[in-house]
Each structure stands twice: as structure tokens, then as C-alpha cells.
Structure 1
Amino acid sequence: MIRLVARVWRSLGGRLQWRLVWLRHATFMVGVTGVVRDDEGRVLLLKHRLWPEGRQWGFPTGYAKRGETFEGTVEREVLEETGLTVKVGRLVRLKSGFRLRLEVAYEAVLTGGTLEIDPWEILEAKWCPPDRLPEGTQPSHQRLLQECSHL
């Protein structure tokens, strides 16, 4: 029986195999964050309109789109939210355990653009020294910055 199942599986071909595996396993949303620094070492903090009151400050963040690399998500989100361009660097966090959500964070450096916030998502943006984050910065983003500093 096992040999028959193996033979049938191999005969399906990669595309159909992947579709069956996808249907069988959990599908996750992927939240991607960029810890963006400028040439002075300051980090980009955004006051997010839709985040909980009192915890609205955090790094550029968004969900990966189907077929998009996580590095591409950082580049897109920063550009959409701020008008700035970045070069994505190393992966600094990969964390699961949020039911059907995976969290990914990368370091990034500013490469250009003009700061213009997207008023639908962002209330305010500012460059902050890592040791002077605004009050109301997401605790998880404070921890993320500490992790980046230790790597």
C-alpha cells in the first residue's frame, strides 16, 4: 500500500503536489517589519493610525502579499507609508506562534526619497535615536530594537 501511495504521489507532478500540500497544511499571514536606520544611526518610527491608542508608535510594518519576498515587503511598506526608499539587510527576527500569523523583521538602511507620510495609515513619522523612542512605542518593537542592538 505504501509503495502504491508513493508511486501515485510521484506521478502527480510538482504543481499538483504543492497544491495538495498547501490544502493540507495551515496557511499563515506574514507580518513583516523593517527596522530602518539613517546614516546617523537613528531609527524610523511611525505613528500608526489603526494601532491601539497609547501604543501607536512603531516601525514600518505590513503584511506580505502573495508572491512577494519578505525583503520586498519591507521595501514596499516603507515606500507606501513614508515615500522613502531603503536597502534591506539582515533578518533579525522570525517568530511564529501567533495562531495563523508569522512575524518577520529585517534591518534596513535609508537610501533615498522624501519623507511624505500616507495619511490613511500614518499620523506622524520621525527619526529617533535608539535610546530615545517616543512614548507609546509598541513594546514588541522596543524589544525588537534591543535584539537588533545585540546582534
Structure 2
Amino acid sequence: MRQVSVGRRLLARVWRMLSGRVQWRVARIRHRTFLVYAAGIVRDEEGRILLLRHRLWPPYRAWGLPGGYVNAGERLEDGVAREVREETGLQVRVAGPPVWLASGFRFRVEAYYEAELVGGRLDLDPGEILDGRWYAVDGLPQEMSPRLRDLLIALPAPGGSRQGR
């Protein structure tokens, strides 16, 4: 059994005396911060997926899902709905768990959700978005992340069957 040093015992005692708020602030200083990106997989009545050509993304992977960084204190699902609305003018409802989580990036964690279209009309934010189109899974644009392409192809189609080429 490994001995715990006097210093570690003292540190543990001090830690327990701190309030949860102070503990949280110390932990934030000690650990690197991650950005959390959340995106919505929005489908039309034909099952096609909305993809956006993003102004700020490199041309070789400019097409992607509506999404963005989640604000501090914001639920991931609410972040998806907000980002979809800001980028497209569409209103969505996010119900259910993420369909995919990705980590391993230097300072970023990603969460992808199915997002049900419930209202609005497509009105793209020209500051961020160059184009927006509905794509069938077998006709996705070449200028997108291979990882995202693989995810979209692997998702069950509306109604439950697997999509594919």
C-alpha cells in the first residue's frame, strides 16, 4: 500500500474546507478548458439533411451541419436549437440523446443531435453561411469532413432503416 504524504493529506483537508464554488474555480485553473461544439442533423419531409457551406471554414471542408459553440450554462440541446435558428432561421426541437459524441481534439468536444424541424423558413445568416441545401445521403458534397460524411451515412434513415450508398 502506498503511503500518502503529509502534504497531500493537508491539501485534501484544505480542499474539503473550500466551498463547491471555490473548488470549481480552482479546478478550472488546474485543467485545460474545452470548447463544446453542438450540431443539429435537420431533415426535410423527404429525409434529406440540411447542410450549410460555412464562410469561415476551409474550402476543402466548407459544407457541414448547422451548429456552433455552446454558451456557458447552456444545455447542449438548447445550443443546437439556438445555432440552427441563428444560422438558418429554422426552428427545431431536439429530443433524445446525442447520436454521436467526438473527442480527442486538442481543445474541442463535439456533440451531434437529431433535430426535428418545427417551424421557420430558410433564411441564411450571410455573415457565417454562404449557401444552404438539402442533401440526400447518397449525394453529399465532396467538400465536407470525411468524419462527418461517415457519420451521416451510418445514421439510421427516418423510419429506422440504415442509410447507405
Aligned to 2:3: none
Equivalence for 1:131? 138
State yes or no: 1:93 paired with 2:100. Answer: yes
Find the aligned partners of 2:76 and 2:60 in 1 and give their Cα distance.
28
| Secondary structure class of the residue paired with 1:111 | strand
Q: TM-score, normalised by structure 2?
A: 0.82
Correspondence for 2:11: 5
Q: Distance in 1 between matches of 2:54 and 2:45?
A: 24
Quote the residue 1:114 is aligned against. 121
Cα distance in 1 for residues equivalent to 2:155 and 2:75: 21
8 Å Cα contact 1:45/1:128 also seen in 2: yes
Check conservation: 1:31, 1:63, Cα contact below 8 A: yes
CA–CA separation in structure 2 for the residues paired with 1:51 and 1:5: 45
| 1:34 counterpart = 2:34 | no
TM normalised by structure 1 equals 0.89
Rounded Cα–Cα distance in structure 2 between residues aligned with 1:4 and 1:50: 49
Match of 2:152 among 141, 145, 150: 145
2:91 and 2:147 map into 1 onto residues whose CA distance is 24
Alpha-carbon RMSD across the aligned residues, in angstroms, is 1.9
Whether the 8 Å contact between 1:39 and 1:110 is mirrored in structure 2 is no
Matches for 1:3-82 after TM superposition, within 5 Å: 3-82=9-88
User: Quick one: distance in 2 between partners of 1:37 and 1:14?
Assistant: 42
Higher strand share: 1
Structure with the greater alpha carbon radius of gyration: 2
Identity among equivalent positions (%) equals 53
User: In the alignment, residue 7 of structure 1 is paired with which amino acid?
Assistant: R
Residues 38 and 6 from structure 1, CA distance in 2 versus in 1: closer, same or farther, beyond 3 angstroms? same
Q: Please, which runs of 5 or more residues in structure 1 have no aligned partner?
A: none
Unpaired runs of 5+ residues, structure 2, are: 1-5, 157-161
Amino acid at match of 1:121: E
Higher relative contact order (CA 8 A, sep 6+): 1
Q: Which amino acid aligns with 1:92?
A: V
Give CA-to-partner distance per residue, 1:76-122, whole Å, 9 cap, x none: 11000100011113301212111111111111111110110001111
- The number of equivalent residue pairs is 151
